[in-house]
Amino acid sequence: MSLSPTNSLRIFPEQWLDPIDFRKCFEHPEHPFEIDLGCGKGRFLLARARKFPKTNFLGIDRLLNRIKRIDRKIVRQNLLNTRVLRADGYYTVTFLVPPQSVETYYVFYPDPWPKGKHHHNRIFNEPFMDAIARTLKPGGKLHAATDHLPYFEKIHKLIKNDARFEETEPFVPSEDETSDFELIFADKTPGRCSFVRK
């Protein structure tokens, strides 16, 4: 694993086919490992990382410019408990994240692909839940939120019907942690749900 040039805290994997021990990317590999999947512009990721310095955070997004912007911010803020990876989230969770290695997944405002003919692009589906179930530690959590209520209903039903998970109190970010998209859609009350891996 090449960590990164000194002016970057991005992860640049040396290979993309086998699981990556992401713990080695952090100063304190023994700290809990959490993933913000589709971290966007990173408001939530950065606020959370500042607040919990004894947790390691990985932000994943497929948009290069967003990852580069967050990277500059984590370097400026010297957030050594935070790394970013420019990659597809489904691919990463399915192939790169080691089994039972993740304490918490946050999936906030995933792209809703509102037209029926585009639903196959949505990240939440059964294979994705298999990957989440495989990579979460027992007792680990999955938090999801979206303003797109029909998609929320689908997400909620998908996970609720999955025997590997148990529903728990929805995670509500504090004001300073509100994600960029939640701020954009602040006039809408989002659907939120949280589940524990049994």
Ligand X SMILES: C[S@@+](CC[C@H](N)C(=O)[O-])C[C@H]1O[C@@H](n2cnc3c(N)ncnc32)[C@H](O)[C@@H]1O
Question: What are the residues binding ligand X (CB under 6 A)?
Answer: 38-40, 60-63, 66, 88-90, 108-111, 123, 179-182
Cβ burial of 154 (10 Å; 0-12, 13-18, 19+) is: middle
- Judged by beta carbon, residue 162 or residue 180, the one nearer ligand X is 180
User: What order do you get walking across the sheet with 102-108 strand by strand?
Assistant: 82-86, 56-61, 33-37, 102-108, 136-146, 191-197, 165-168
Scanning the chain, the segments in alpha helix (DSSP H) are 43-51, 64-76, 89-91, 126-135, 149-160, 180-184
Least distance (Å) between residue 44 CB and ligand X: 6
Least distance (Å) between residue 73 CB and ligand X: 14
Least distance (Å) between residue 125 CB and ligand X: 11
- Judged by beta carbon, residue 28 or residue 119, the one nearer ligand X is 119
Concerning whether 111 is annotated as a catalytic residue, the answer is: yes
Q: From the candidates 111, 130, 162, 180, which is the catalytic residue?
A: 111
Catalytic residues: 111
